[in-house]
């Protein structure tokens, strides 16, 4: 019965909402993209690159602007699926969806030129991303980060920016800036190795019982969700509230990262400049 009351609270209490400002912003971005490719490119909106760009925008809104963004915070496995798609699927799709000529025109904008001076090399971005991602999901750090909404959102935005630099050698809009086939494979292997500790964090915690019931306390119940959602652990059935949830979280991260690498390789070979 208590779970039923909590379900009504989540469904009717304003937690499951569509983010209209995000929707408006993404719609404007899509319209601007269509205008720019018609001006600078000789491709149709139903060609591969525009479709990849629209797909990435749709995924991004679905992940951070739909009711799913709250639902995924009810368990570590759902949360990790959200984070993995956000950082391992959306950035490469966005980059592959950017036509080369449009990319060239974009970097002629003065503010972007100045911003380019602060872009880190891909390997450094990869190591920093992996470290920040690991720290974010450690109990002590996460407990403090989520207390400040501004800092929390800034932390996630920094990870998102680093993800683009991390994926650049594989899916850069400029083919000349992509690694060669063999070097790309070594880089992909390296990315899997340095991201492994974050995956193992969930799996090890599950077996040592450090966070056996991740949503039994206020801290874990507030994982990327509004404070009103305390005790939402009662909403989901097993295995979401069991040890298997954390094992699934680590496994999902590895799986989505590997899938993102394979998909980027395949799509990168198929996307042809026109």
Backbone dihedral region for residue 272 (phi beyond 0: left; psi -120 to 50: alpha; all else: beta) = beta
Find the radius of gyration of the CA atoms of the chain: 20
Please tell me the distance from the alpha carbon of residue 108 to that of residue 104, in angstroms, as a whole number: 7
When pLDDT is cut at 50, 70 and 90, the band that residue 215 belongs to is very low
Number of Cβ within a 10 Å radius of residue 98: 22
Token pair recorded at residue 23: 């929707």
- Tell me the pLDDT of the chain averaged across its residues: 79
In this predicted model, what pLDDT tens digit does every residue of 107-125 receive, in sequence order?
A: 887 777 777 777 889 999 9
Please tell me the distance from the alpha carbon of residue 232 to that of residue 74, in angstroms, as a whole number: 6
Backbone dihedral region for residue 17 (phi beyond 0: left; psi -120 to 50: alpha; all else: beta) = beta
Please say if the pLDDT value at position 218 is more than 50.
no
pLDDT of residue 168: 94
Please tell me the distance from the alpha carbon of residue 258 to that of residue 262, in angstroms, as a whole number: 6
Place of tokens 């391992």: 88
In this predicted model, what pLDDT tens digit does every residue of 4-34 receive, in sequence order?
A: 444 444 444 455 678 899 999 999 999 999 9
Give the sign of the dihedral formed by CA 22, CA 27, CA 32, CA 38.
positive
pTM: 0.83
């Amino acid at each position: 019965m208590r779970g039923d009351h909590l379900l009504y609270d989540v469904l009717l209490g304003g937690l499951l909402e569509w983010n209209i400002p995000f929707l408006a912003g993404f719609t404007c971005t899509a319209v601007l993209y269509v205008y720019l490719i018609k001006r600078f490119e000789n491709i149709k909106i139903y060609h591969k690159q525009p479709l990849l760009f629209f797909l990435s925008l749709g995924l991004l809104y679905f992940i951070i602007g739909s009711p799913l963004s709250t639902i995924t915070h009810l368990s570590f496995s759902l949360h990790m699926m959200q984070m993995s798609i956000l950082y391992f699927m959306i950035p490469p799709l966005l980059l592959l969806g950017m036509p080369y000529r449009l990319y060239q025109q974009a970097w002629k904008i003065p503010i972007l030129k100045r911003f380019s001076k602060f872009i880190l090399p891909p390997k450094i971005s990869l190591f920093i991303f992996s470290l920040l991602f690991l720290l974010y999901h450690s109990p002590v750090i996460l407990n403090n980060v989520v207390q400040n909404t501004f800092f929390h959102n800034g932390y996630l935005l920094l990870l998102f920016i680093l993800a683009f630099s991390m994926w650049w050698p594989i899916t850069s809009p400029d083919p000349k800036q992509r690694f060669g086939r063999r070097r790309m494979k070594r880089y992909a292997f390296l990315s899997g190795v340095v991201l492994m500790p974050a995956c193992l964090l969930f799996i090890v915690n599950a077996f040592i019982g450090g966070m056996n019931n991740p949503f039994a306390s206020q801290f874990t119940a507030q994982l990327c969700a509004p404070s009103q959602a305390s005790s939402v652990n009662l909403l989901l059935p097993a295995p979401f509230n069991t040890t298997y949830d954390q094992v699934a979280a680590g496994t999902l991260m590895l799986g989505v990262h590997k899938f993102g690498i394979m998909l980027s390789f395949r799509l990168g070979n198929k996307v042809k400049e026109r």
